[in-house]
Structure 1
Amino acid sequence: MRTKIALITGGYTEEAAVSFKSSAFVHAKLDAERYEVYPISIMRDQWFYVNDAGVKFDINRHNFSLVIDGHQITFDLAFIVLHGSPGEDGRLQGYFDMIGLPYTSCDALTSALTMNKGYTKAVLAGIVDMHLADSVLLFSGDRHTAAQQVKERLSLPFFVKPNAGGSSIGMTKVKTLDELDSAIAKAYDAAHTGQQVLVEEFIEGREFSRGIFRNTDGDLVVLPATEVITTREFFDYEAKYIPGLTDEITPADITEEQNVLSARIIKDVYRKLNCRGMVRVDFFLQKETGRFYFIEINTTPGQTAQSFIPQQVRAFGMTETAFYTQIIDSALQAAKTNSGE
C-alpha cells in the first residue's frame, strides 16, 4: 500500500504564488510507486483538494481528512511546501502536532523562532567562527523613534527588512540617511510580517546559500554551496524570481577551507536551532577577511527546478526523487521513534 502524502501548499501571504510552483515541482518528482499524493491548498478562506477532474473537496479540519466518493482519506504524512504563514511560522506545525499528523519540516517552536530574524540571531550568537552583522530590532511601538535608534547605533550602509518576512519582500538597501524613513515605513507596512523591522549593517562580500538535511541514517548532510551574483543592488524579490537578473553558480567556486568551514558552521546552526528535515542557510563570506557572516535560515526553502536546494541536490549527485524520498522516510522514522514504536 502506498504512503498517503498531503502536499501542503498555498498560504496567507504574497509567497503563495511561489508555494504553488514549489509544490507542483515536488509533486512531479515524488515517487508515484511509493506515494499517493494529494496537493492540499491552505488559504485563508478554505482548505481544499482539487482532483484531476477539477472537483474541489474541503478538508475536515478536525482531523485533516478528506471524503471523496463516500470514502474518508487520512494521511500518513504532511509534506510542507508552504512558504510564509501559516506553513513556515509554526502555526501549521502546532496544528499537526495537536492532531498527531507527522510532517517534514522543523517543529512548531523552531519554525516560529526562525521566522523571527532578530530572535534567531540572538539564539545563534556564540557559534564558533560565525559572525553576525551589527543590527537593531525595532518593534511596533518603536515606529516613531526607529530612524533615530538606527542612526545612533549603526553605520551606513545597511539593510532594512521586515523581521518576519520572506522572499526579500519589503526589504531595502539604504546607502544615505535620506532613504531611511521610507525604507523603515516600507518594512513596517509589508503585509503579514508582524510589525517588526530588522536593520543590519551591510557586510561587503560574496553571498552564498547552502542546504542541509538529515538523511535516513540520521546523519547531517550539507549540500554544495550556491553563490549568488546579481545585477541588482542586492538579492531582492525581483532578483530571485525574474530570469536573467541573477547568476546562481552551483557548486560555488570556493576553497576547500571555505567549504569545510561553512559546512561545519551550518551543521552547528542546524543543531542549535533544533532543526528537522531540509533547511537552507544564507551567508556572506566577507570580502577582506573571509569571515562567515550569517544572513538567515529558511526552514521551508523553495523547491522549483531553479531553486537553490534542487540545484544543490543535483550537484551533489542525487536526483530530486531520491532526495524527497529521504526527507519523507526520515520524517516517518522520527515520528515512529517519538511515538515509541
Structure 2
Amino acid sequence: MTHNSEKEDYINELKGLATALEFTPAIHRVKMSNIHQICDSLPREELVMNLCDGSDIDGVPGPSVAAYLEKLTHPNVIGCDSLFIENTTTKNGMKEIFRQHLVSTPPGFPATRETDIAKEVDSWGMTYPLFVKISDSYGSVGLDDNSVCHDLEGLLAKCEELLKEFPNLTVEEFIDGQEYSILVSGNSRDENQTVIVYPPAERAFNKDLPRFKRFISFVRNWDEAQYAHQYAPVEDANDYNALQDLARRAYVSVSGNCYGRVDVRKRDVSGKFYVLEVNASCGLGKGSSSEFILNLAGQTTQDFFQILLANALKPSIEPSLSQTQLDLVAEPEELAEADDVVATSLPLIPPVIEEKVNKLIHHPSLATVPSPVMHVIVSAVLVDAESGIPDPEGKLALSYGKDVEYVSELEGIIRLIGFDPIVHLYHVDEVEKILSELNKESDLVFNACLGKDGLEVAEVMRKEGFKLTVGLNAQFFEESRNRRIVRDNLSKSRLPIPKGLVVKIEAGKVEANIANVEKAMVEQEFSFPVYAKPAIAQRQQEGIHSGRKIDSAEELRALFEGVVVDLPDELEWVVEEFVGGREFRVLVAGDARDPNADVIVFPPGAFDPKVVKSKSSGDLRAAVTASREGLDTGSATNEPVPTTGTETTNTNQTTSSFLQSLRRLSQNVLPKRSAATAANQQLSYSAMKVPQDLMLQMDIQDLARRAFVAVHGSCYGLVDVIKRDDEADESGYGGASGGGLVVLGVSGDVRFGENARAGTLLRLAGQDAGALWGWLVKRPVAA
C-alpha cells in the first residue's frame, strides 16, 4: 500500500523487491478517499506492507491508514503503527517527547499566529541564529535560505510569511555543524524483538555552500540534491557510538516500531549532538540515505525488507502469557458457548530465510543490545571570539560548549565499561531540572564537573538525595577546595603538614599582614623562602591566581599589594614554609566516609623538576609552582617504566595592574606565568624503583590513604607528598630514608583520559581509566 501513485519508478522498485522475496506483488495506490475501501478488501491471510507515510493533514494518507488497519485487527501488517506515526507527525510534539525522555534536542518552542515570538525567544534564553520550520510538514516544505534567522527582524519576517499558510511552526536554535542520519528498525515496545541501530551516515554538505545554507531546504532537497550534499561514513569511533546511542533513545522515546530514520546535528562549538526529528516510514530505495546506510552495514534494500518481514512474522507474547502469569494457579473457568472463530495463522518463516536474517543482524556495524545509562554532568566552557571558531558573517553570539576532547575521552571510558553516557552540559542544559526528574533510587549519575561547578552540582545532587552516584560528593568538594580546612583536617589527624598560617589580606593593612606572617614564622620556627597560595583553590590556576615560592618579605609585600588590587574576592591566603625535597603524587579511590568501604591507593608517581625547562624564569621556580598547584602537564619519563603521558592546562593571563605592582622588582623576583610558558613546561612522573624504594613507597601510600580519609574523600582524589631534603623527621614517615614525609595537599580536581594526570598515574601502575571506572561503578555512593 502506497500513496506514491505517480512515481512509476518507485512502484516498479517495490514490485521487484516483492518478487525477489518470492512474493506476488499487488500494489494498492491509496488516496484519502479510498482508504476504507482498499483496507476492507485486503484478505486477512495475506501480507500487507503499509508504506503510506503522509500526514493526512496535507491530503496525503498516513496515520489514518495505519489506524484503520489496526481497527480491522488485520494480523499480517508490516509497517509503522498509528502510535509511532502520531508521535512523529508534528515537530512540536516530537520535541516535547524528546524533552520528557531526556533526549537532547535543540532549544525551541511552538509558534502560532497568537505567539509573542520575541517574548518566547527571551524566556527560553535562545541564542541566534534561530531556525524556523513548519511543525506539521515533511519533505523540507517551507524551508529556504531565510529559514536561518540571525536577528529578531529576520525571525519575525520568516514566521509571518509561513503563518499565512501554515498554522503551526517550530522555532529552535540553529545547530551550526555537521548533520547525520541513522536508520533504526524493530519494535521498541516488544521485548521479544531486537531493535537494530544501523551505522550513522553524515550528510556531508558541499563545502561551496555558505555555512548557514548547509541544511536541506526545499530546493536543495528536490532540485539540487546532488549539488547540495553527499553521504559519507562516520569515521570517529566515539561519534559513531554516541550517534547510535542517541538514535536508539530517540527511537524508543517516540515508541518506534518497524523502522524509521533519526536525523541529528552536531554543534561545532560544543561537540554536542541534538536530535532534530524521527521519521517514521522513512524513504527506502535507490538514492535515499537509507540505501547508503544499508550499504555500510553490508545490506541491500531487499535484505532490509527481509529483516522487516522476519520481525513482523514473529508473534508477540501478550502480557497475559508472560511467565509470571503462566505460573499462577487458578480454577478453570467454564467455557461459555460462543461463535466459532477461526484464527488467521501467521505465515511461517522458512529456516533458510531465518538463518540469513540472523547473519544480517549480527553484522559488527550494527548496535542491537542497549546498555544501561549513566547520566554525566560536565562543565560547559565559555567560547569567545578568540576561540578560533569560523564566523565569516560575524553573527555568532558568545556561547557555551563542552571540553570536547575531555568529554569525548570520558564517553569512551564509560562505553568501555558497558554504559551509554547521556551528557548534560552545566550552564547550558537545565541540569537542576533534569536532576529533579531522574529517579533518585535507581538512576546512576556521574558528576564530572570540577572546581566551583562541581561543588554546585554536588550540592544539587545532595539536596535531591541521589543514592547511586559516581564522582566527588559535596562535602569532599567543599573541604578539598578550601586549603584552610584541608590543613585543619590533616592536622587534627596528626598528619605532617608544612608549618604555616592563613592570612586575611586587608587593604591598607599590608604591613600589618606582613608583620603577622613574620611573627608566625618566628613562633613556628621557619623562615623564607615560603609558599603562598589562595585559601580557596581555583580551577586552572595561573598568574595571579596561582601559588608561588616567595623568597623575601619584599616579594610577599608585592604579592599582597597585587592581591588587594586585583583579587578582592580572594583575600584569604595560605602562607607556609617552603619544603624542599622530592615530590610524589598519589591517586586514591574509594569512599573514605564509609569505614567498611574499600579504598585503593595506587603506587606514587615521583615528580622530578630537573627535567622541566621554563623559558620565562630561567630557574626551577615555575616548575615548583606548577607541581604544587596541580598544573602538571606531566609526561612520565622512560625511567624506570617506559610509559608516557602529557597533560596540558588552559591558562588565564595576569592582569596588567598586578604586573605593574611587580615591575618594581627585578625580572626574576617572581616566576611569570603565561599560556606560552605553561605549554612549554612538562612535569615528569616516574614510577618508584623496586626494591630500592619499596619501604618509602609503602610509607607514602599509607600517608596518602590517611590524608584522603582525613578530608572525607569520596570516589577519587590526588594526594601530594614531599620527602624533605633536610633531616627534620617529626612525622615518623620516611625516617629510615633520611628525611621526613610531609603532606602538601589533597585535591578532588581529577581528570581522567589519555593525557590527564590521573591517567598518567594509572599507566605507571599498569592500569587504565577503564579498569578504575569498572571498579567505581560497582561501588556507587549516596550523594
Q: Which TM-score band applies after superposition, normalised by the shorter structure? A: 0.7 to 0.9
Aligned to 2:664: none
CA distance in 2, matches of 1:323, 1:338: 29
Aligned to 1:13: none
Q: Name the amino acid aligned to 1:137.
A: P
Structure 1 residues 25-34 or 286-295, which shifts more?
25-34
Cα drift, residue 123 of structure 1: 1.6
CA distance in 1, matches of 2:91, 2:227: 26
Provide the secondary structure at the position in 2 that maps to 1:36.
coil
CA distance in 2, matches of 1:181, 1:21: 41
Aligned to 2:176: 204
Question: Is the CA contact 1:208–1:283 (under 8 Å) kept in the aligned structure 2?
Answer: yes
Structure 1 pair 185/79, CA: closer, same or farther in 2 (3 Å)? farther
* Equivalent of 2:52 in 63, 75, 82: 82
Deviations 1:264-322 (Å, cap 9, x if unpaired)?
12112222222111110000122122211111000011123011112111221012112
Aligned to 1:279: 260
Structure 1 pair 317/83, CA: closer, same or farther in 2 (3 Å)? same
CA distance in 2, matches of 1:95, 1:329: 23
* Equivalent of 1:97 in 44, 51, 70: 70
Question: Is the CA contact 1:136–1:150 (under 8 Å) kept in the aligned structure 2?
Answer: yes
Aligned to 2:104: 131
Aligned to 1:55: none
Deviations 1:55-106 (Å, cap 9, x if unpaired)?
xxxx7346133xxxxxxx5662332222322477522111010112243333
Provide the secondary structure at the position in 1 that maps to 2:278.
strand
TM-score by length of 2: 0.36
* Equivalent of 1:114 in 72, 82, 88: 88
CA-based RMSD: 3.1
* 2:32 counterpart of 1:44: yes
Provide the secondary structure at the position in 2 that maps to 1:42.
coil
* 2:40 counterpart of 1:63: yes
Deviations 1:161-197 (Å, cap 9, x if unpaired)?
1112101101322233333334224433556xxx211
Structure 1 pair 190/207, CA: closer, same or farther in 2 (3 Å)? farther
* Equivalent of 1:305 in 280, 283, 286: 286
Aligned to 1:9: 3
Question: Is the CA contact 1:79–1:328 (under 8 Å) kept in the aligned structure 2?
Answer: no
Provide the secondary structure at the position in 1 that maps to 2:182.
strand
* Equivalent of 1:27 in 1, 9, 15: 15
CA distance in 2, matches of 1:228, 1:133: 18
Cα drift, residue 146 of structure 1: 4.4
Question: Is the CA contact 1:283–1:295 (under 8 Å) kept in the aligned structure 2?
Answer: yes
Aligned to 1:162: 134
Cα drift, residue 324 of structure 1: 0.6
* 2:213 counterpart of 1:213: no
Q: Name the amino acid aligned to 1:249.
A: Y
Question: Is the CA contact 1:133–1:201 (under 8 Å) kept in the aligned structure 2?
Answer: yes
Query: 5+ unaligned residues in a row in structure 1: which ranges?
Result: 1-6, 11-15, 48-58, 66-72
* 2:148 counterpart of 1:173: yes
Question: Is the CA contact 1:212–1:266 (under 8 Å) kept in the aligned structure 2?
Answer: yes
Structure 1 residues 295-304 or 328-337, which shifts more?
328-337
Structure 1 residues 330-339 or 240-249, which shifts more?
330-339
Provide the secondary structure at the position in 1 that maps to 2:3.
strand
Aligned to 1:50: none
Cα drift, residue 330 of structure 1: 1.4
Structure 1 residues 179-188 or 163-172, which shifts more?
179-188
Provide the secondary structure at the position in 1 that maps to 2:37.
coil
CA distance in 2, matches of 1:201, 1:8: 35
Deviations 1:221-259 (Å, cap 9, x if unpaired)?
211212113345121122223342222224x23311111
Provide the secondary structure at the position in 1 that maps to 2:262.
strand
Question: Is the CA contact 1:160–1:187 (under 8 Å) kept in the aligned structure 2?
Answer: no
Provide the secondary structure at the position in 2 that maps to 1:333.
coil
Query: 5+ unaligned residues in a row in structure 2: which ranges?
Result: 322-344, 346-783
Structure 1 residues 201-210 or 236-245, which shifts more?
236-245
Question: Is the CA contact 1:170–1:186 (under 8 Å) kept in the aligned structure 2?
Answer: no
Q: Name the amino acid aligned to 1:136.
A: F
Structure 1 pair 62/245, CA: closer, same or farther in 2 (3 Å)? closer
CA distance in 1, matches of 2:227, 2:201: 16
Structure of larger gyration radius = 2
Q: Name the amino acid aligned to 2:217.
A: D
Provide the secondary structure at the position in 1 that maps to 2:28.
strand
Question: How many correspondences in the alignment?
Answer: 303
Aligned positions of 1:244-323 closer than 5 A: 244-250=226-232, 252-323=233-304
Q: Name the amino acid aligned to 1:222.
A: V
Provide the secondary structure at the position in 1 that maps to 2:87.
helix
Structure 1 pair 307/46, CA: closer, same or farther in 2 (3 Å)? same
Question: Is the CA contact 1:104–1:276 (under 8 Å) kept in the aligned structure 2?
Answer: no
TM-score by length of 1: 0.77
CA distance in 2, matches of 1:23, 1:115: 24
Structure 1 residues 91-100 or 181-190, which shifts more?
181-190
